[in-house]
Structure 1
Amino acid sequence: MSGLGLDRALEPLRRLAGEALFARVAGPNGPAERVRIHDSPGTRWFGADRPIRVVHGDASMFVGGLRALLLQSLHPLAMAAVAAHSGYRGDPWGRLQRTSTFLATTTFGTAEHAQAAVDRVRGIHQAVRGTADGGETYHAADPHLLAWVHVAEVDSFLLAHRRYGQHPLDQAGYDGYVADTARVASALGVVDPPRDQAELAERLASFRPELRSTGPARDAARFLLLTPPIPLPVRVPYAVLAANALASLPPWARSLLRVPDLPGLEGPLVRGAGRCLVGSIRWALAA
């Protein structure tokens, strides 16, 4: 069978897999939201040539997103806020769908829609406050906590794209990506967010003394890695995703999460399986 014939034969399978995956990530309103985000007329925060569109439009975000959640959990106050207010256990798919819609809106949507999305998140953050197990108080609108969530997320998306992206950027491109994300971070309330890779690495390192191995962080890691609420048929692909998210974390982060030092985790077999998985997701979601 020719390549074109094979593509035609597989098209129903691709469409079915893509629709199921998109429904999980974007939710029941996903198709309507996609039209609103991409087709609404108006100026955008980011032009079509900006690096943020390349990174956030790539299937490598699946690896980067899971890595970001694991890394973010290591800040005890950020994790306390998530554990108490996000509903990540009771409604993990809803949280994923809200996050993906926010990222898509701020990256691809009109400036009006992007600002409205930011305003909604800022309103939610104002109400999220409490006391962590150690007695420290937290507030989701705290610029310091917002900065941690931001740099952990950007570092994760950037690293995943560099490893698994269909069209990896050069150094200037990734510096541009960090600068683009600073636009969104500033709107959310982050003070002086990093604007290139060197500043990103410096800001990440500055948080290192605050990161700890806590019960909530370890519980979140076990939930995300071992007992996610996913159908049995996708357990193997998810295990590949989880292995690559783990492998991309620095060793100190895996140690704080108390993840066993699995043989071959950082080896070519896991990395190759990750590329195949991301490529399969990219194929399924192709328009």
Structure 2
Amino acid sequence: MSAPAEKGYAIDYLHPAGEPALVPPDSPQWRVFKNPIAMAVGGVAAVLLEFADARIRSGVWDHSIYKIDPIGRSRRTGIAAMAGVYGPASAARRIIGGVNRMHRKVVGETPAGEAYRALDPELLDWVSATAGYGFLEAYHRFVAPVSPADRARYYRDGEAVARLYGVQRPLTSDADFHAMLETLLPRFEAHPINLEFLEIIMSGRAAPTIPKVLHRALARAAVSILPPAVRARLGLGTAFDLTAIDRLMLRAAGKLADRVRDRNAPAWQAAVRLGLPGDFAWRSPAAQRRWFAQRGMQPNAVGVAAT
């Protein structure tokens, strides 16, 4: 399904036929990014991790439409994430290039007077790290366990996309994420914007047809996957504790979403574009390997663009 045609964010995942993606179809990224619960929980966690740093928080608040249209801004961020994993490589590069051009204009000062610019390598690295960690950890906790080997490959397969954004230190492991976090943690601080963001999520404005109870659970789930030291710095106390009912509800929703084979989903249409079964991303890694073996093919021979 094409993404909303706004400001260059239109994506046709079905065409051009055969055009590879930046991430191979047997990657754990294809499995993780197809799940809307993992993407929602992980995306909220990533924003909290980013807003913890005053430079990123100020950059987003002062130089985007986030404060007047947080849902639209978040939706476009999601489109860019999907394009990087499933889109034809040419379309993914176009969208990422557009994001980079916008980021070049983002310069300013925090309320405390510290200069920032969106293309600061430290900030680019952290924004990329928060998304990678958030989506993976949300899938692992609320959908299905991800093995250490698949976690390592998930990070490795994301490097090509991260480099296009200008990231200099793409994650290769969970240890990389925690090392980066340890460096930045002293800068993190509580701020009303963090609470305002969580209030928007809990209000259900992003998806009015979904019960608010699920939105509230989603927000608490996002807080639950923050490293404890970050949660403490942000002052997100017991009001954001994930309840047993929240956990059961989200795991049920995550597992159900993982079984729904949506023919309009980017994962389905990207697979069709590559000549694979539409439900390829929904198949187990063993089933994917069998599909290739039955045709005398190697997985790495299909669907990944040169970088």
- TM-score interval w.r.t. the shorter chain? 0.7 to 0.9
> 2:106 is matched with which residue?
128
Opposite residue 273 of structure 1, the aligned amino acid is M
- Give the gaps of 5 or more residues in structure 2: 264-307
1:6 aligns with none
Q: CA deviation at 1:205?
A: 2.2
Q: What is the distance in 1 between the residues matched to 2:112 and 2:60?
A: 15
Q: Distance in 2 between matches of 1:142 and 1:186?
A: 14
Instruction: State the number of aligned residues.
Output: 259
Compared CA separation, residues 280 and 236, structure 1 to 2 (3 A): farther
Distance 2:93 2:163 in 1: 11
Offset from partner CA, 1:142-191 (integer Å, 9 cap, x none): 111111111111111111011123x5431111111111222211111111
Residue pairs, 1:40-189, within 5 angstroms? 40-41=16-17, 42-59=19-36, 60-165=38-143, 167-189=144-166
Q: Report the counterpart of residue 253 of structure 2 in structure 1.
A: 277
Which of 246, 252, 270 aligns to 2:223? It is 246
> How far apart are the structure 1 equivalents of 2:44 and 2:30?
19
Q: 1:14 maps to which residue?
A: none
Q: Render the CA deviation track for 1:13-70: whole Å, top value 9, x for unaligned.
A: xxxxxxxxx99xx5477xx956x12443312212211121111112211111111112
Q: Give the unaligned 5+ runs of structure 1.
A: 1-21
Q: Distance in 1 between matches of 2:186 and 2:159?
A: 23
Aligned-pair CA distance for 1:227: 7.9
Counterpart of 1:197 in structure 2 is 174
Q: Which moved more, 1:40-49 or 1:138-147?
A: 40-49
Question: CA RMSD of the aligned region, Å?
Answer: 2.7
| 8 Å Cα contact 1:175/1:195 also seen in 2 | yes
Q: Is the Cα contact below 8 Å between 1:218 and 1:257 reproduced in 2?
A: no
Q: TM-score, normalised by structure 1?
A: 0.80
1:62-104 CA distances to partner (integer Å, 9 max, x unpaired)?
A: 1111111122110110000111122223112211221121111
Are the counterparts in 2 of residues 237 and 277 from structure 1 also a CA contact under 8 Å?
no
Q: Distance in 1 between matches of 2:253 and 2:160?
A: 31
C-alpha distance in structure 2 between counterparts of 1:214 and 1:96, whole Å: 20
CA offset digits 1:118-137 (Å, max 9, x no partner): 11111000011111100011
Residues 104 and 118, structure 2, Cα contact 8 Å, conserved in 1: yes
Is the Cα–Cα contact under 8 Å of residues 163 and 170 in structure 2 kept in the other structure? yes
Q: Output the TM-score relative to the length of structure 2.
A: 0.75
CA apart distance, 1:278 = 2.7
Relative to structure 1, the CA distance from residue 86 to residue 279 in structure 2 (aligned partners, 3 Å threshold; closer, same or farther) is: farther
Offset at residue 246 of structure 1 (A):
1.8
Does the Cα contact within 8 Å between 1:52 and 1:180 map onto a contact in 2? yes
| 1:228–1:76 Cα change, 3 Å | farther
Aligned pair 1:37/2:13, yes or no?
yes
Per the alignment, residue 267 of structure 2 pairs with none
CA contact (8 A) 1:130 1:138 kept: yes
For 1:261, the equivalent position in structure 2 comes to: 238
Higher mean C-alpha displacement, 148-157 vs 273-282: 273-282
